[in-house]
A and B are shown apart, each in its own frame.
Chain A
């Protein structure tokens, strides 16, 4: 599974960063969308209504990603309804969700038909199969199920005379981090600059003595890039939760700086009113616009959020806010003797990385 995803990094220059989410009804498509992109609690998705219309949602991340969700009960090849050819040629990845806790034979037939069609109109499409809801299966059974599904899909495609279609399979559940991991890999394939990014991260890692470095999308917690060493799911979880900790803590003390300013402004206003009582209105207006200007000035050259945490086993977690809602999170092991210099070096390296990222994105494709 891993090797096939890694090998599949050739990109169609004209492809869009669009993901099409398909699957039978009640396979969990909407739940996935809600959990990954809307931060819904997994348990709350129990109450989701069935989706009846195709929905498109846009997410601004490193790349502007669009997720189109097709309701499962839609009969795909009723030609009058939608222009499927246009749809399939415009998307970058097809994600098919299979409910592993249900009888999945009909889903597999449906999948084979869709793949056949998709490949015929858009040969460069990435086909991703999520074997979903695995939280209900025992550890052994998960792999059995995956093997069975892969086998059957392969056979079906052979029956259609399709050979060499690259399909990636993921075992996922919304109750743990596996769905984020899967979506991270899916989204990564749509990023044209990924090899360059990975290269940069490798360099950064090498010079900064990181164990692992991720480039996270802060909102959805999927990582858009990482260095080339293998991903340890525990490291991923800790890093993802570290983002939450930083953002939440910062949020608690966020609002009041402005209100303090406002208080100061009010005091100033009052003072001004004392001095020049004739032109109150002008002053109020003037200071209001000043206030706006101040806010603008303060927010514009905003210092990036930075967070460092040391652990008892000598590990350090390092977070640095990047461009476009991204954050760089790294796991590092520190030598005791030169801690402060090490962090300064890291700070410097990360700042340079950020600059190169900015430069890279000036010339990027999907802005």
Chain B
């Protein structure tokens, strides 16, 4: 596909690259990843993400043999035809650091050599580092440790190679992994602002507490909109005192996690879910298919004290609105990407 984007997934052996790939893209549970063996050489996976975007994920085996091979090959191939050069035309590098690693210096050295190659072959690459297996660190020291490692790597990348990098502390045992990958993937979606604009309009009509868009297979968050964000324009930061600031800041990732578990669970009766309507204690949640690649989640406040039929009416109203919005978003999705 023309709009295929190449993602390199690198890091030392056993740092958890294949595990995270399996969880995000192949619907594994964290527990299932115990079964994975070592990756030999490179495992390619082509993942359709949204309608017109393909992610070519190159999961690079982390054992020294392979790493040396990748890194040295490029030097040799400089002279020859370098078709096998894995550092060419990369859009994204995701470098995974094992928080438990005993050979930090070596890891950093590898990282440097990768950067060196990238600066030569794909200077426009976006770089993300994941400090992985953070669950193995005591919870009160995680932030400190992450900052320490990240600042170190950031300085290396910026001072020596001019790359600006983004970093995340991740673990497959909680939501942090979804958060990191959501950010990574969102950075690749070219028309994410358009989604956001239309979402704001939709919210004007529905008056929801929050609307979230999820990608269908991975359930990564594409875009979200809440009342206050809609009012104050499209700023990404949550501004101080508003209705959503009192919510769990990790809720998106938690939703991703919950829904993926649900997906697995309905797989047991050999099916997939179409929608979900929940009238809970304080809010009504509607989860429905928006387009062939996007699920939409609308969270409405429960207006208690209104008449009995309010809930029923409101439900039909929201569902009808989603139906109408469906056409609009399908149009956005089918637009060709202009990068």
Interface, chain A (partner B; CB < 8 A): 234-235, 237-238, 241-242, 244-246, 248-250, 252-260, 263, 298, 302-303, 305-313, 315, 317
Expressed in whole angstroms, the minimum distance between the Cβ of B276 and any Cβ of chain A is: 4
A-B complex: 8 closest residue pairs judged by Cβ atoms = A250-B280, A241-B265, A257-B282, A309-B276, A313-B271, A311-B271, A256-B246, A259-B246
Given contacts A238-B269, A256-B282, A308-B277, 10 further A-B contacts (CB under 8 A): A235-B269, A245-B262, A250-B278, A250-B280, A253-B210, A305-B279, A306-B278, A308-B276, A313-B270, A313-B271
Contacts of B311 in A (CB 8 A): 303
Contact B265 A315 (CB under 8 A): no
B281 on interface, CB distance cutoff 8 Å = yes
Contact A307 B258 (CB under 8 A): no
Whether the Cβ atoms of A311 and B272 lie closer than 8 Å is yes
With beta carbons under 8 angstroms apart, the residue of A249, A263, A311 that contacts B278 is A249
| Interface presence of B274 (CB below 8 A) | yes
Shortest CB-to-CB span from B327 to chain A, Å, is 21
A238 and B266 contacting across the interface, CB-CB below 8 Å: yes
**8 A Cβ contacts from B222-277 to A:** 241, 243-244, 246-248, 251, 254-255, 258-259, 261-262, 265-266, 268-277
Report A-chain residues with C-beta under 8 Å of the C-beta of B299: 253
Give the total of B residues in contact with A, Cβ under 8 Å.
39
Complex contact B278–A312 (CB within 8 A): no
5 of the cross-chain contacts (CB-CB < 8 Å) are A249-B278, A252-B255, A254-B283, A305-B279, A317-B266
Which residue of B is nearest A301, CB measured? B304
What separation, in Å, do the CA atoms of A311 and B261 have in the docked complex? 15
Interface flag for B301 (CB, 8 Å): yes
**Cα–Cα, bound, A249→B212 (Å):** 13
Chain A interface mostly helix, strand, loop or mixed? helix
Do residues A246 and B280 form an inter-chain contact, with CB atoms below 8 A? Answer: yes
Chain B residues whose CB sits within 8 angstroms of the CB of A302 once the complex forms: 281
Is A311 a contact of B274 with CB atoms below 8 Å?
A: yes
Partner of B301, one of A238, A245, A257, A313: A257
Beta-carbon nearest neighbor of B280 in chain A? A250
Q: Within the complex, which residue of A245, A254, A256, A307 is in contact with B243, where a contact is CB–CB below 8 Å? A: A256
Known: A260-B246, A312-B271. A306 touches B262 (CB 8 A): no
- Asked whether B132 is an interface residue with its Cβ less than 8 Å from the other chain, the reply is no
Are the C-beta atoms of A253 and B282 separated by less than 8 Å? yes
A-facing residues in B33-78 (Cβ within 8 Å)? none
Docked CA distance A245–B275 (Å): 13
Given A252-B254, A255-B246, A309–B280 Cβ distance below 8 Å? Answer: no
B209 is an interface residue with CB less than 8 A from chain A: yes
Instruction: Please indicate which of the listed interface residues B209, B265, B272, B277 has the most CB atoms of chain A within 10 Å of its own CB.
Output: B265
* In contact, A303 and B279 (Cβ under 8 angstroms): yes
Given contacts A245-B261, A298-B304, contact A254 B282 (CB under 8 A): yes
Question: Least Cβ distance of A81 to chain B in Å?
Answer: 42
Closest-CB distance, B224 to chain A (whole angstroms): 13
Q: What 1/0 mask marks residues of chain B from 299 to 326 whose CB sits below 8 Å from any chain A CB?
A: 1011010000001000000000000000
In the complex, chain A residues whose CB is within 8 Å of the CB of B134: none
Decide if B20 is an interface residue (CB 8 Å cutoff).
Answer: no
Instruction: Provide the bound-state CA to CA distance between A313 and B279, in Å.
Output: 23
Q: How many whole Å from B266's CB to the nearest CB in chain A?
A: 6
